[in-house]
Structure 1
Amino acid sequence: MKRYFFCLFFMGSLFGRISGQTTVQLLPTEKPVEISKHIYGHFAEHLGRCVYDGFYVGEDNKIIPHTNGVRNDVIAALKELHIPNLRWPGGCFADTYHWKDGIGPKANRPAIVNNWWGGVTEDNSFGTHDFLDMCELLGTEPYLAGNVGSGEVQELADWVQYVNFEGKSPMSDLRRENGRDKPWNVKFWGVGNEAWGCGGNMTAEYYTDIYRKYATFMADWTNTGGLYRIASGANSADYHWTETLMKQLPKHLVKGIALHHYSVIDWKQKGPSITYSDEQYFQTMKSAWFMNELVEKHSAIMDKYDPKKEVALVVDEWGGWYEVEPNTNPGFLYQQNTMRDAMIAGLTLNIFNNHADRIKMANLAQTINVLQAVILTKEDKMLKTPTFHVLEMYKVHQDAQLIPLQIKSADYVLNGEAIPAVSASASRDKHGRTHISLVNIDPKVAQEVTIDLAQQRKLHSARLLTSAKLRDFNDFDAAERIVPTSFKAVKLEKQQMKVKLPPFAVVVLALD
């Protein structure tokens, strides 16, 4: 992990006690690095109320406005985020999903029992056509997770042909019979999911052989650059997994290696989503910061075998994970979303931005009503969570050029442990505007941040996301308790900017 330095002093502030002097320096760019928009991807698994009752309310619904069964308010909200890709149908569910069960007349589709999540019976009314057509409504690229755990090679090969082949073939003819003439040309494909766990409890060595076999038969006919195949990667700090894949997978068969890491206190004692203690908050932030170490160590392994960085690190599951809300199905993973989640989102996205030379794609888990959702729904109501607002504020970084930073942060200290209080990332968009995103995860102490801009600038805008209390959240009776506001505690002095960053706050600055 990068080393952070700090010095302490005390002074008054409108925002509370100032504890540390944090400095941020914008550095010259030695080699241009683009922050791929696909870092800002999302994840929709058949889990709880994410797909059914989240995205999809059925074509016969007379109460909730929809397009082919997909909620119009959800589509409009996600368009605000400019979501670049959406991963589906899982997750663990993907390796039990047989795509042919979800095509054709809905009345004829067989039901499936979701053994992974809640043991509920699904009618397969939301399948391949429904998902890919929804992606077109969203203006986003689909990311399909293939069944390697319980599916056969032919099944996955047929799926690629069904959605991508324009000519005449058994699968493209079947697609046309089901009402779609032109192919969707899906680029992103996951070859299994969590093969080390729910995807088959495989060893890394065994999975590499399985991957090579499945990837070989996933033929492509339309994408000029070929399919973007993503291998099932490591569980958090399993560096042996990454080493094995990088050593044994041929470059022409793999474009990305996945990584999964959740900000969890303890898998056996995850803690509540709202009434968490100060200690639980600190440990969650410590787990979120661990992402930086994971990215650097996995990237170092990848650099040994791929110094040109042709294979991407794809963090296609990340976010906070707590105990479910009281009196809800434990298999549905429904949790509230407080300012703690905004801290996880801002901190994690800063880490991804700063490692954009290797991280080319990521997926927040999950989009609606599950884990660290950006949207919650209840009957005809919909709300945007604090996490939603962070992603909306950060969308300015999508496809912008990374500006390297040097950060010396004060520490956030609790019970003798210390982690950096401030994280930051910066970029320059195609219009030449510079954006700097700052996060102060300390829940009680504001930060005096000095930013060395290297040249004189003008402040175009400044936005703030915070709330009166750390444990505040948006609910259906107060859907806009937490929303971005204009930020005034910024002072420009020639080539320096002074920012009084409140406790548990996210700030995005725009400079001309």
Structure 2
Amino acid sequence: MKGLIWIIGVFVSVEVSAQTTVAISEPFEPVTISKHIYGHFSEHLGRCIYDGLYVGEESKIPNKDGVRADIIKALQELKIPNLRWPGGCFADTYHWKDGVGPKDKRPTMVNRWWGGVTEDNSFGTHDFLNLCETLGAEPYLAANVGSSTVKEFTEYVEYVLHKSGSPMAEWRRQNGREEPWKVKYWGVGNEMWGCGGNMTAEHYANVYRQYATFMTDWSNNDGIFRIASGANVDDYHWTEVLMRDIPKHLIEGVALHSYSFVEWNDKGSSVDYSEEEYFSTMRTALKMDTLIVNHTAIMDKYDPDNTIALVVDEWGGWYDVMEGTNPGFLYQQNTLRDAMIAGTTLNIFNNHADRVKMANLAQTVNVLQAVVLTEGEKMLLTPTYHVMKMYNVHQDAALLTVSFTSPKYVFQGSELPAISISASKNKQGKVHISLVNIDAHKEHVINLSLEEFGTKQFTGTILTSDDLQDHNTFENPDRVKPKAFSKIKIKKGQAEIVLPPFSVVVLQSE
């Protein structure tokens, strides 16, 4: 609606948003937002591993066992709960034995999926699992099914998990690792409907049963968590077949992959995009809610006790590569649009935490919707990094039920919900509310009752900028960063929160 304000002796017409009342309450049944929803994904793709995470022990860039010290620090501060590796499509061409033992004796391979570059296998299983220990993150190994064998797969499990006395455990000890690692999460192949083998769902379900049967827990105290290669976006038949044909005792999780992009063949620039492209990208991002609802309905039919997790182990924005970079390396910038994708998607995951137990943003460094970009010795944190750090207050907190009717973001006769919200209460009793306004033009006003929280005040943090296309560069790495949020008014037990256009806000009860 429009209102009139008095400015320097004249009335000026301005856009004024109607207020939205939000009710937040305890759910009927307690639900914990698993910290693993905030997981990440690092594939041997472009400059994600080499010249990204891993620069080698001899590099002049400060490192720990070849991994950049500044990235380690950034990921620790992000409280990264798990990391998926080595793919992606790369996983189903990767033979793990090529990546262990003396580095100067490891064979090379051609990375056929990503740029045709030669892979020297200098970053292998020991490097990855030791990095996860340094980060305090749980490893998620996506193992080869597409071009491997049951024997190779199960020997991998033995190498990683068996304590001593077996051939693979002794080989691990010869390679410098006395104790087994703690690896709970195992992906049984990746994208088996595509780069993992172009299989039908029916064929893969049988292949999965075979591989999963021979996976042994060995000495891993937490048990083994087997994740089936799941559906591509809205392939509900795929989920139906896996849930119908795989016995429950052989499966703990089903994956789902869905990316956000402009809804025509040209994905468009990651920086120089129009509002039409922004609106389209947000429409695909918000479809994540529908996907989860529909895949969950299928899972509920076969698993009414909710014993099998939905694992969204690839998500994020996907655009054209930056001009002048290798098309196979998928290097793109990261703007406020990506912050909107991250904020809304994480809210969706939080609100479906009863079934969604893990998710993995694609990807950690220099690829797709990365949280870190590097250029030589330089490193920067992206808007997506900042959103995920703001949201880590939800990790392992109790989900709260949020009820409201969102105002609309209208563009050329089409509309999307402008506001996205999730909320949680941590073990200390603090309530955290994450709010996103994706509207490219209008601020929106949110009303909350303080009585619901037993608090008299909220403090907050906001991520926004002057322009929707704003992003951090190596020349200006702090252009987009979180700031204290002050647009909170308290009146008669009500909190009035003003959300600027394209902004992410996280509130904490005081």
1:383 Cα deviation from its structure 2 partner: 0.3
Q: 3-state SS of the aligned residue for 2:273?
A: coil
1:223 Cα deviation from its structure 2 partner: 2.7
1:455 Cα deviation from its structure 2 partner: 4.6
**Deviations along 1:139-179, whole A, 9 cap, x unmatched?**
10000001000000111100000010002100000000100
2:461 is matched with 463
For 1:51 and 1:407, the matched residues in 2 are separated by: 42
**Deviations along 1:8-61, whole A, 9 cap, x unmatched?**
5657799x8333332221023211100000000000000000000111001111
2:382 is matched with 385
1:450 Cα deviation from its structure 2 partner: 1.2
For 1:494 and 1:257, the matched residues in 2 are separated by: 47
State yes or no: 1:208 paired with 2:208.
Answer: no
Distance 1:12 1:348, change over 3 A: farther
For 1:152 and 1:494, the matched residues in 2 are separated by: 67
Contact 2:334 2:369 in 1 (8 A): yes
TM-score by length of 1: 0.96
For 1:419 and 1:13, the matched residues in 2 are separated by: 32
**Deviations along 1:167-200, whole A, 9 cap, x unmatched?**
2100000000100000002100000000001111
Once the two structures are superposed, the pairs formed by residues 64-103 of structure 1 within 5 Å of their partners are 64-103=61-100
**Deviations along 1:226-262, whole A, 9 cap, x unmatched?**
2100000000000011111111111111111000000
Contact 1:10 1:19 in 2 (8 A): no
2:218 is matched with 221
Displaced runs of 4 or more, over 4 A: 8-14
State yes or no: 1:343 paired with 2:340.
Answer: yes
Structure 1, unaligned runs of 5 or more: 1-7
1:28 is matched with 26
For 2:263 and 2:290, the matched residues in 1 are separated by: 18
1:51 is matched with 49
Distance 1:434 1:387, change over 3 A: same
Q: 3-state SS of the aligned residue for 1:23?
A: strand
1:429 to 404, 426, 431: 426
Contact 2:463 2:480 in 1 (8 A): yes
**Deviations along 1:435-482, whole A, 9 cap, x unmatched?**
000000001110011123425413252100000110000000000001
Contact 2:263 2:280 in 1 (8 A): no
Structure 2, unaligned runs of 5 or more: 8-13
Once the two structures are superposed, the pairs formed by residues 220-239 of structure 1 within 5 Å of their partners are 220-239=217-236
Q: 3-state SS of the aligned residue for 1:26?
A: strand
1:500 Cα deviation from its structure 2 partner: 0.6
1:194 is matched with 191
For 1:172 and 1:415, the matched residues in 2 are separated by: 62
Distance 1:168 1:287, change over 3 A: same
**Segment of structure 1 superposing worse, 95-104 or 455-464:** 455-464
For 1:90 and 1:388, the matched residues in 2 are separated by: 21
Matched letter for residue 22 of structure 1: T
Q: 3-state SS of the aligned residue for 1:295?
A: helix
1:496 Cα deviation from its structure 2 partner: 2.3
For 2:301 and 2:47, the matched residues in 1 are separated by: 42
For 1:364 and 1:64, the matched residues in 2 are separated by: 26
For 2:343 and 2:139, the matched residues in 1 are separated by: 24
Distance 1:475 1:455, change over 3 A: closer
For 1:80 and 1:163, the matched residues in 2 are separated by: 27
1:157 to 147, 154, 158: 154
Give the root-mean-square deviation of aligned CA atoms.
1.4
Tell me the matched-pair count: 503
Matched letter for residue 445 of structure 2: E
1:130 to 127, 131, 139: 127
**Deviations along 1:249-291, whole A, 9 cap, x unmatched?**
1111111100000001136210110110110000000001000
Matched letter for residue 300 of structure 1: A
Contact 1:18 1:448 in 2 (8 A): no
1:328 to 325, 328, 338: 325
Contact 1:235 1:260 in 2 (8 A): yes
Matched letter for residue 79 of structure 1: Q
For 1:178 and 1:312, the matched residues in 2 are separated by: 35
Q: 3-state SS of the aligned residue for 2:328?
A: coil
Q: 3-state SS of the aligned residue for 1:19?
A: coil
For 1:22 and 1:194, the matched residues in 2 are separated by: 41
For 2:383 and 2:109, the matched residues in 1 are separated by: 34
Contact 1:439 1:504 in 2 (8 A): yes
2:473 to 470, 475, 495: 475
Matched letter for residue 346 of structure 1: G
Once the two structures are superposed, the pairs formed by residues 140-155 of structure 1 within 5 Å of their partners are 140-155=137-152
Matched letter for residue 30 of structure 2: P
Contact 2:456 2:493 in 1 (8 A): no
1:169 is matched with 166
For 1:494 and 1:301, the matched residues in 2 are separated by: 46
Distance 1:13 1:140, change over 3 A: farther
Matched letter for residue 70 of structure 1: V
1:218 Cα deviation from its structure 2 partner: 1.0
Contact 2:32 2:399 in 1 (8 A): yes
TM-score by length of 2: 0.97
Distance 1:398 1:145, change over 3 A: same
Percentage of identical aligned residues: 61
1:318 is matched with 315
